[in-house]
Amino acid sequence: MSNVLNVGNVVKQLIWTRVIHPDYTSQLQALDKTKESIQALVGFIDEQRKQLQLSQSAVDALKNEESRIHPLVEADRKVIDAVFAVQEQRNQVAQSRERWIGFGLGVLASVLASSLISLIAGRLRARRKT
């Protein structure tokens, strides 16, 4: 009786398999295509992993370079800031000097103009009297 049940189960499975998947070759082809796709995907993932490792190596190298150069950059920045401070101080001194020179020349020009007008006015008065 158990043989009959086993044979019945096998027959049921065969009938069920044939109804759902009548063409084994197309099923095998589909499985082969799926296998190829999975293998291509695995290859792509491996390639991306290698690219990621290369990128990480490049980032690590850049971080090492940055940590090596950073003290030099900071030192240069301090020197540049000091140079700018000295230049700003010189500019302030030169600007102050230029303002004093401009003020003095303005006073001198004003005195000269006043003297010239006074001289011309005096001569004009002297001509009118004569």
Measured distance CA(128)–CA(121) in Å, rounded: 11
- Mean pLDDT for the stretch of residues 74-102: 88
Measured distance CA(74)–CA(70) in Å, rounded: 6
User: What is the overall mean pLDDT for the chain?
Assistant: 83
Assign 2 a pLDDT band (cuts: 50, 70, 90): very low
- Mean pLDDT for the stretch of residues 10-28: 62
pLDDT in tens, 46-70: 999 999 999 999 999 999 998 888 8
Evaluate if residue 33 carries a pLDDT over 80.
Answer: yes
Evaluate if residue 3 carries a pLDDT over 50.
Answer: no
Evaluate if residue 13 carries a pLDDT over 70.
Answer: no
More confident residue, 16 or 120: 120
The pTM of the full predicted model, rounded to 2 decimals, is 0.39
Torsions phi, psi for 21 (to 5 deg):
-125, 80
End-to-end C-alpha distance for the chain, whole angstroms: 165
Q: Which helix (H) or strand (E) holds 60?
A: helix 24-129
pLDDT given for residue 75 in this prediction? 77
Assign 80 a pLDDT band (cuts: 50, 70, 90): confident
